[in-house]
Every structure is written in C-alpha cells, then in structure tokens.
Structure 1
Amino acid sequence: MVNIGKKYDIPQHFFWLHGPIAKPPVEYDEKTEMWNVYGYREAMEIFGDPETYSSNTLRVTPKELLPDEGVSFDGFLTQVDPPDHSKLRKLVSSAFTRKVVADLEPRIAEITCEFLDQARERDRFELVSDLAYPLPITVIAELLGVPSSDRGLFKAWADELFKSDSTITRKASEKQQAQAQDRMRTWHEMSAYLGSHADERRRRPRADLLTRLVEAEVDGERLPDDQVVNFGILLLLAGHITTTVLLGNTVLCLDAYPDEQRRARADRSTIPDVIEESLRLLTPFAMMARSTTREVKLSGHKIGADELVLVWLAAANRDPLQFPDPELFVPGREHNPHLAFGRGIHFCLGAPLARLEGRIAIDLLLDRFDDLRVEPGSSVELIPTPTVTGVKRLHLA
C-alpha cells in the first residue's frame, strides 16, 4: 500500500494523508473551542440541514478576526443561508450549466496546449506555475471578463489568502490577528480591482459574466455594489484554486500508482474516474465551516447554539465506514460519492468546469509525457494552510 503522506514527506498536520483516520466521528476541542466532524455520515447530516447548520460563520467568529468596517461580505455566496442563498445562486448558475461548460472544451484545450508549448521551451517543467495555475485562471478570467494577463496579480492575492499555517481556533492569537489584517488588506485590493471593472461595465456593457452581475436583479432591484464585487471575488478565487490543486494532486496520485497511470494512458475514457478518486483521496478544500443556530445532537454529542463546527471533508472522504480501503487510490470505485465539492445547497457551482479542465489537462499531459512522474530528488511543497490539500510546487521529470 502506498502512503501518499509518507512517500512525499508531507507534514503531519495534514493528518488525513498519514494513514486511516483514527478519530471519533465527532469531537470537541477544548483548546480551539470548536467542534470537529470527521465522519462521512455526520458530514452528510450537517450539509442536509442548512437551517440548523448555518453557512454564516462570521457571526460566531472572534471580533479580532472579523473584517474591518471598510470590508463587506454582503452577498458572499458561501456565507449566505436560505432564502437569500437560492436567489443569489440563480444569478450565476446559468453560467455553469453542463452545456455552457461543455462548449468551453475547445477553448480549454487550446489554452492548455499554449501553456504546454511555452513550457517545452524551458529546461524544467514545474506543473503549478507552467500549467495548473495559469490554465484555470485564464479560463475564469475570460468568463468573468477581466484581463487574464493580470493572473500574476490574482496569484499574489490567492497566495496571501492561503499562506497561513496556523491552527484554526476561536481564540485569536496575536499571530492570527496579524494574518487576519494581512488578508483584509488583500481583500481591499481585490475589491478595488473588481469594483473598477464593475463600474466600467455599467458604462460599457460586454458579453461577460461581470456585466450579467451588474445588470442582474433580485426581487426587481439591481444587486448592491458590494454584492457584485463579492460575487466576482468568489468566482475569481474559487474558479481557479480547485482546478489548480486538483491537477497537482492527480499527478501525485499517478506518480505514486504507476499501474493506474498506465491504465489511464491506454484508455483515456478512464481519466474521469482517476480525477474523481484523486478528489476523494486528496480533497482540495479539506474543511468547510458551519455555525449552529440551535442546540442539536450529532452522533450522540449535544452541541449548543452558536457553536463553530468544522466539517473535515478530507477525513470524511477517508471514512472506512463509507469507503472500503480508503487509503488506496482506486479509480473506478464501485461507489464513490465523495464530498470534495461539498453537498446540498452549497454544492460547488464550478464542479463541472473543474472536472472538464482536469480531464483535458491530464489527457494532454499524458500525450506530452512518456512517463508522468515527479522529478527524482525534488521535494513536494504543499500549500501551508491545513484547510487546503494541494501542491505549491511540483517539478516533473
């Protein structure tokens, strides 16, 4: 059995990469003053009850970690509960239908080939900077209507937001407070950037998603400026990070399991199964947070109102009660209802796009590399935050 965590010397705080999850399905952590949920069944129960488990976690976040008065999260979809959630989600759901996404396939393949051709001119191929990052950010930038040439700026923002290696806690340390202020400065920069583009669309509309947001109406009224900007930020960030991480993780799996790589190379129709198993085994966004609106019982534990509950998707996707041999990379599992894209009303809108980008990129990488493997002697550097599972740099031989 290949242990991904040990093979690539991944730090132990990514605990779900180092063997079976030897934890109860639900436990309270007195140090962090939060509930942790590791079980698959319990995670499904939470995602199926948004009335009890609210997505608005800001209301129970320490005030030292809250955004300053100049930052608004109004309309930020991942923090919105019903009934407002369904109204706002409809505004962008039409941009990510299966047909709309399928029509993007030729353009995605074209962009992928362009980046691979550019990388061929260099001595080394670094997966993240040469392909896994620029591919999805170019696609989402074109959809949104902002210059893809600004992708260096977008990456700097994403790196700042996901650079923290701190333990998650409701007790705000000085280090966490300083990191929160850094993130707020980044948020100000993103808001100003997208706000200027939104203002320009009001004057000169285009055939892009940002124009649709500016012109959209909810209950007969246009969206407030803050909501338009927050929609744009969410799409820009979530629209590329999942695919970036997914590609790196899938290559790690194919390197660790060469027999599966040979099968995928021989039969490209199996690539979607490879991607789904990669999403389960190395879940990109390892955790989702919820806040309780009332006292509730979960797996025999009484959880009070206004508690912060961390649902560890990465652990639930390795729950042996749901997935036989959860530590193994088994493409084409008979039953693989993983939670990598969430579940319920907040299921990831961009999941079809991420899957398509992943399939195209892996297919073309197999075409370009006779043996898709990590460069011998090179280290696998992960994104430091424990809530994201993905490589920051990955040199290929």
Structure 2
Amino acid sequence: MSTRQLTYSPFDAEVIADPYPVYRQLREGAPVFWSSRAGTWVLSRHVDVSAALGDPATYSSASGIFPTPPGVDMTELFLPMLIMSDPPRHTQLRQLVSKAFTPRRIAGLGAQIQTLVDDLLDETPETDAWDFVSGFAGPLPAIVIADMLGVPREDRDRFRAWSTTLIQSNPARGEFGAGLDAAAALYNYFAAFLAERRAHPQDDLMTALVQAEVEGEHLSEDELLGFCLLLLIAGHETTTNLLANSAVILAHHPESRRELADDPNLVPAAVEELLRYDSPVQGLSRTLTRQVDLHGKTMATGDTVLLLFGSANRDDQAFPDADRFDIHRAPERQVALGRGIHFCLGASLARLEARIALQALLTRHRDFDVDLDAAIRLHSGPIRGFASLPIQ
C-alpha cells in the first residue's frame, strides 16, 4: 500500500478493533505520517518513539497528551496534571507524588491485593459466563487506588463509571461533552473530599497531597484536583485494560496459559510480554517546541506528534518476530508504560496487581475462553481495552 492510499486515525473503528496491520504499514512505508483525520503527525517505529520519549525538551507534554482538532487546547479543558507538564514544574511535582509509590510501599500492598483478588474470584461463578471487566478487572484496581487515596469503597462504582466515560470521549471529533461532565463530577467530588481532609487529616494519600509543599508552597487547588483525577484514572484504567487484554491473549494461547498455570514463577516475565503484545495505552501525544526533520519529513514547531507505543512494541527491529506472543521473551525495551521522565508513576503497582491477579485466576481457572463477539471494546483511541468482556 502506498502512502497515498494509507489512512490512519486512532479513532477509526477498524483501528480500534485491530490496529496492528496498519501499524506495520506505517512502520514499513510511512514512519513519519501526517494523519489529516486526526490532525497530527504519527511516529510508529520503536527507535523513533523511544527517542521522542527521551527528549521532553523537544516533544513537550504541556499542551496536552491526546490528539485534538486544530484550535482545541486540552489545557483549557482540564485542570493541571502531572502528565501534562514539563520540567521544572514536572520534576517538582513528580518528586512529591512519587513518595506515595516507593517500592517499599507498593510491596507492602501485596497482601491487601491478594485478599481483594481472592474475594472477587470467590464471587464469580465456577461454570456460567461472567463479565471479566465488571466482575474482576474493573473493581480490583479501582479499590486499590481508592484505598490509597482514602476514598470510601462504596464510591468506587461511581468512579469507574466516571473514568470510563472520560476516556471514551473522542477529542479527534471534538466530542467532549460527556467526558467533560464526568471530569466535572470528579472535580466536585474531590474538592469536597480535599476540604474534609484539610479539616480532618488521616493517614492516606489525599491528606499527604493537601499537606505537601513544593519549595515552601502548598499545591494549588487546581493542582490538587488534577492530581486526584490523574491518580484515579491512571491508577485503575491502565491496570483494568491490561488485565482484560491479558485474558483475551491467554484465551487465544492455551499452551502458554497452561504453562503459566503450571509454573507461577513465569508470570512476572509474562506480564511484561502481555504489556508489549497488546499495550493498554496505545499512544500519547506531544507538541513540538522546535522543527524536527525525520525520515524525509519536516514537522514544524507547534505541531502535535502521536507516539504509538503499541506500534513500537510490535516493531520487528526491536523485538524479533514481534507479532508472536512468547511468554519466554525478555522484552526489556517495551514502552507500554512510557519511558523517560514521564514513565508511568504507578508502573510497579500495575505490575504487582497484574501478577497477583493473573496468578490467582490461572490457579482457579486453568482453562477459560472469552466471547469476543459479545464483548464491548472501549471507544477510545489512546486506550485499548474492553468495557465488557464475557468469559467462560
């Protein structure tokens, strides 16, 4: 297929269903591609995506991280978030919130996560079909991050609904209404919660954020609300979709599934391969601070560039035979969780939850299948996963 015939938008229905054929076409024929339908340049090769992630001075996050129509400013739609900031403010804020995600603190959550996993699996039917997302993959990370923030568990279903609505808004077509309503609901909830924590501090992340200081100053109300929104959505959407995508992959690879069931020690490495093979975050955008010439194309200052993590992770130049799922692969270079200064803050938590969840699932259900015909995919360009996934 020539570049004249090639079309790509992260919001196309065919791309959402299976993006990997067009990713290969992009890597082979148009590694720097202008998507007129999404109004953005697209980088698809591992070497180029990795280089861009390692150069935040050129590829800025401050103007937003999702492709949007010309003239739309994401910073005007949402309050300040760590993921949409550049140094030096990004450095200050990340140092602050990273204290909540230390290896020691995350490791200490293992027993709690195991209990939650066991409780959720206890509630699932042994023989009848059940919805893997609403019954397991959705509630688990939502409960974990809500507990870290200090949010009552009875509110988790509301949070799940709000965050799912938010990520399914379609900025490429200017469809913000429902997503903005969900964001407003979250902001209103957290504003009241932050006020309560100021008056009555507790041992949770919300209190820590309220009391935190950066260079002698407390975070602004907008920064606090932005933090809460980011932690809630990133804290459970990524893990929910990692688990759902993993269930599909393992259902389609029964030999690998049974090998993991027989030897749980293989699960940690398998999680890395699952992240690589069908990344829950398919790509994020950056805005150029200077002109970049790459592969014979000129990208101008101010242009947006979509970095396709999902394509980079299927690049044969980085991962031989990349379209083959292999639990014995060592995909250290996979970029599903980003790279550089914006590497996913909750990566260790997502990996821990995935390891515990998959190990427990395979212990109880050595054999299972998924009904993709009845499944409902998320209609979000950057996020790949399921709103509903029947499993038998």
Give the TM-score normalised by the residue count of structure 1.
0.89
Aligned to 1:51, which of 51, 54, 57? Answer: 57
Equivalent pair of 1:12/1:18 in contact (CA under 8 Å): no
In 2, Cα distance between equivalents of 1:67 and 1:207: 33
CA drift at 1:281: 1.0
Aligned to 2:194, which of 191, 198, 201? Answer: 198
Residue range with higher mean Cα deviation, 14-23 or 154-163: 14-23
Equivalent pair of 1:124/1:396 in contact (CA under 8 Å): yes
CA drift at 1:308: 0.5
**Which 4+ runs in 1 deviate beyond 6 A?**
none
Aligned to 2:176, which of 174, 180, 183? Answer: 180
The alignment partner of 1:386 has SS state of coil
Aligned to 1:390, which of 365, 385, 391? Answer: 385
Matched AA of 1:314 = G
1:113 aligned residue: 118
Structure 1 residues without counterparts, runs of 5 or longer: 1-9, 170-175
Whether 1:163 aligns to 2:174 is: no
Paired residues for 1:285-304 under 5 Å: 285-304=281-300
Matched AA of 2:301 = A
Matched AA of 2:123 = Q
1:5 aligned residue: none
2:3 aligned residue: none
CA 1:58–1:282: 2 relative to 1, 3 Å? closer
Equivalent pair of 1:366/1:372 in contact (CA under 8 Å): no
CA drift at 1:160: 1.3
CA drift at 1:327: 0.9
1:242 aligned residue: 238
Paired residues for 1:69-80 under 5 Å: 72-74=78-80, 76-80=81-85
Residue range with higher mean Cα deviation, 14-23 or 108-117: 14-23
Equivalent pair of 1:39/1:319 in contact (CA under 8 Å): yes
CA 1:193–1:263: 2 relative to 1, 3 Å? same
CA drift at 1:335: 4.1
Residue range with higher mean Cα deviation, 119-128 or 355-364: 119-128
Give the TM-score normalised by the residue count of structure 2.
0.90
CA 1:19–1:263: 2 relative to 1, 3 Å? farther
CA drift at 1:332: 2.3
Paired residues for 1:1-397 under 5 Å: 12-14=14-16, 15-18=18-21, 21-23=24-26, 24-58=30-64, 65-66=72-73, 72-74=78-80, 76-120=81-125, 123-164=128-169, 166=170, 169=172, 176-177=173-174, 179-375=175-371, 379-397=374-392
Matched AA of 1:13 = V
Count of aligned positions = 376
In 1, Cα distance between equivalents of 2:75 and 2:331: 45
Equivalent pair of 1:341/1:351 in contact (CA under 8 Å): yes
CA 1:121–1:152: 2 relative to 1, 3 Å? farther
Equivalent pair of 1:365/1:372 in contact (CA under 8 Å): no
CA drift at 1:262: 1.4
In 2, Cα distance between equivalents of 1:68 and 1:356: 32
Equivalent pair of 2:273/2:331 in contact (CA under 8 Å): no
The alignment partner of 2:279 has SS state of coil
CA 1:345–1:146: 2 relative to 1, 3 Å? same
Matched AA of 2:105 = V
Structure 2 residues without counterparts, runs of 5 or longer: 1-11
Equivalent pair of 2:145/2:232 in contact (CA under 8 Å): yes
Matched AA of 1:321 = Q
Equivalent pair of 1:20/1:327 in contact (CA under 8 Å): no
TM-superposition CA deviations, 1:272-296 (whole Å, max 9, x none): 1221111111110111100001112
Matched AA of 1:301 = K
Equivalent pair of 1:72/1:226 in contact (CA under 8 Å): no
In 2, Cα distance between equivalents of 1:128 and 1:341: 21
In 2, Cα distance between equivalents of 1:378 and 1:181: 29
CA 1:346–1:330: 2 relative to 1, 3 Å? same
The alignment partner of 2:24 has SS state of coil
Matched AA of 2:177 = Q
In 2, Cα distance between equivalents of 1:19 and 1:102: 39
Q: CA RMSD in A?
A: 2.2
